[in-house]
Amino acid sequence: GAVVSQHPSWVICKSGTSVKIECRSLDFQATTMFWYRQFPKQSLMLMATSNEGSKATYEQGVEKDKFLINHASLTLSTLTVTSAHPEDSSFYICSAPKIPGKGGEQYFGPGTRLTVT
Amino acid sequence: KQEVTQIPAALSVPEGENLVLNCSFTDSAIYNLQWFRQDPGKGLTSLLLIQSSQREQTSGRLNASLDKSSGRSTLYIAASQPGDSATYLCAAIETSGSRLTFGEGTQLTVNP
């Protein structure tokens, strides 16, 4: 199956700093990638859809100025949590369909655990 | 807006039992439905993808069924093992793209 990687796998940062998380498709080109957030004991909630070459689409209630998404190439999307606060501590997971727009199988990254102190 | 519900929220069974996990969705206009496994602190492992034109998919001891008209899917695990202990998530894939809506998950514990 297709492989999606994330970096870093975990990160601890101080309140007020910014953190960048990378999501890469390793063996296929991903024109669309999705970013999810998962709080402890809860399910995954879609934050935004990352589109290569255009602006990301954010879900209702997600601050686009706080969660900056850049889809600079067909294999890389980055999520930057700006001015992080302890309530941003969560598990962030990205995914990509191998065939976008076709409702096909999603391939998920291993996730990044962010802890803001 | 699609809503996905999973029942039960938690399940504890002795090793060897056959079990069924339930998933329901409010909007039957889905493209596909996908079942995942998530171990504590880990990412998602895809188990089965059922296309909207299919009724079921099988992989080893796992069998997933889909009834679009009633908005339901079930995951059947045969002869459960302690290694099956994990949280199982179902997700509905919308027709217009690839967005997934996840259920809350079923936390399964298989006791030796």
The stretch B2-16 carries a mean pLDDT of 95
Q: How far apart are CA A104 and CA A60, in angstroms?
A: 24
Interchain proximity A46–B100, CB inside 8 Å: yes
Question: For residue range B91-107, what is the model confidence (pLDDT) as tens digits?
Answer: 998 876 678 899 999 99
The set of residues, in sequence order, having a beta carbon less than 8 Å from that of B88 and lying 6+ positions away, is B6, B21, B35, B36, B37, B38, B47, B75, B105, B106, B108
**Chain B (38-97) residues lying within 8 Å, Cβ to Cβ, of chain A:** 41-44, 46, 49, 52, 89, 91, 93-97
> Minimal CA–CA distance to A102: which of B51, B106, B74, B87?
B51
pLDDT tens profile A61-111: 999 999 999 998 999 999 999 999 999 999 999 999 877 666 667 889 999
Cβ partners under 8 Å of residue A70, min gap 6: A50, A77, A78, A80
Tell me how far CA of residue A3 lies from CA of A39, A95, A98, in angstroms. 24, 10, 10
Residue written as token pair 């063996």: A27
Residue B53: partners with Cβ closer than 8 Å, 6 or more residues away: none
In this complex, which of A1, A103, A108 lies closest to B43 when CB atoms are compared? A108
B34, B96, B105 ranked by CB distance to A43: nearest: B105
Q: Show residues of chain A in contact with B94, CB under 8 Å.
A: 103
- Reported as a single tens digit per residue, the pLDDT across B38-87 is 998 888 999 999 988 889 999 999 999 999 999 999 999 999 999 999 99
Whole-angstrom distance, CA of residue A72 vs CA of residue B100:
23
